Amino acid sequence: MSGTALDTKTLIKAYERMLFLRVAQQELVKLYMEKKIFSMVHFYIGQEAVAVGVCDALQLSDKVLGNHRSHGHYLAKGGSFRRLVCELLGRSNGSAHGKGGSMHMIDKSVNFIGSTPLLGSVAPIAAGVAFEQKYNGRNAITAAFYGDGASEEGVVYETYNLAALYKLPLLLVIENNRFSINSKLKDRRSARYNLKTIVEGFGLRYERADGNDYHDVHSKAQALVQEIRAKKEPAVLECMTYRHMAHSTPLTEESYRDEDTLEHRLKNDSLKRISNQLIEHGISEKKLSAIEDSTRASILKDIGFALTSPFPVKRALYTDMYV
């Protein structure tokens, strides 16, 4: 952990935000199992400290982009759960009018610019967004989230090069959950692969955080964001984390894991960690479960709204098109 200790009020707020992402995902899993979600879904359970820790270091005017696993990024940037669940259920008041699904989260009102499932493609797009911010003299930065698998795509290395050359206000957040689908880091990279050396070699700053620890992610993200804003120089923040569920479906497949067993993941779980910290701060378990109950109630209300919302009309097929 780094940075000065967090006060109780800040910890509770972080807990509430992370818990919202967790409970929202748990309820979405149920909808998925009931076959109410048509699109492919990649759940974010386990990685909440990354999205919340980073987005808590940003301002509303900063822009965020994500990947195929972006429910958490979207919500952490202030996106509406009601619009998210409507989108997943294919309803017309979804964030992309029910036509994008889970992998195409977008909400320009909170500067969540979009998520793109083509691995690695988010990096150059985010660099373009950051270029506009610098070119037009805005005091804002862009953050992009992508996984360790995506970080191996060639276009990401090209982005490092141009981002450093043009000194872009860009924060690239790598969520290293150790897998690209079921493929392990050691089966994809030489034992001598060193991301810090690579990133710094291109001329960007590099930091590594414990992605299961809100405080560590947040304090490192905050320090980088301040530097990026002041100096207009890009940085990479690599967050080591775990996804609790399978890549997508079947949701609970565990056979490809070795050291990151279910027991190990639960022991290191970000929400468990922050609730233990709150208990150390004198917050009772009763208070924590009351927060969980009211969080779930608000989520269920939005799901109820979504389930009774209309599907897009046929002529909506011809809107929001580039042709």
Ligand X SMILES: Cc1ncc(C[n+]2csc(CCOP(=O)(O)OP(=O)(O)O)c2C)c(N)n1
| String marking each residue 20-59 x if it binds ligand X according to CB under 6 A | ----------------------x-----------------
Instruction: Please tell me whether residue 187 binds ligand X under the rule CB under 6 A.
Output: no
Return the range that interacts with ligand X (CB under 6 A); candidates 22-30, 111-119, 197-205, 303-311.
111-119
- Give helix 154-165 / helix 195-202 axis angle, nearest 10°: 40
By C-beta, is 15 or 179 nearer to ligand X? Answer: 179
Which residues fall within 8 angstroms of residue 192, CB to CB, at 6 or more apart? none
Return the range that interacts with ligand X (CB under 6 A); candidates 13-21, 140-148, 209-217, 272-280.
140-148
Minimum distance from residue 150 beta carbon to ligand X (Å): 4
By C-beta, is 17 or 42 nearer to ligand X? Answer: 42
Give 206-217 as a DSSP string.
EEEEETT-HHHH
Task: Reply yes or no: is the peptide bond before residue 250 cis, omega within 30 of 0.
Answer: yes
Return the range that interacts with ligand X (CB under 6 A); candidates 29-37, 178-186, 232-240, 305-313.
178-186
Question: Residues of 189-225 as b/e, b for ≥16 C-beta within 10 angstroms?
Answer: eeeeeebeebbeebebbbbbbbbbbbbbbbbbbbbbb
Beta bridge partners of 277: none
Instruction: Please tell me whether residue 212 binds ligand X under the rule CB under 6 A.
Output: no
Return the range that interacts with ligand X (CB under 6 A); candidates 33-41, 147-155, 158-166, 188-196.
147-155
Residues 57 and 91: their CA atoms lie apart, in Å, by 32
By C-beta, is 91 or 104 nearer to ligand X? Answer: 104
Instruction: Please tell me whether residue 68 binds ligand X under the rule CB under 6 A.
Output: yes
Instruction: Please tell me whether residue 244 binds ligand X under the rule CB under 6 A.
Output: no
Q: Which of 70, 142, 180, 277 binds ligand X (CB under 6 A)?
A: 180
Q: Which of 14, 21, 49, 119 binds ligand X (CB under 6 A)?
A: 119
Residues 49 and 72: their CA atoms lie apart, in Å, by 10
Amino acid at 206: Y
Q: Which of 72, 98, 149, 211 binds ligand X (CB under 6 A)?
A: 149
The sheet with strand 63-66 has its strands ordered as: 112-115, 63-66, 142-147, 170-176, 235-240, 205-210
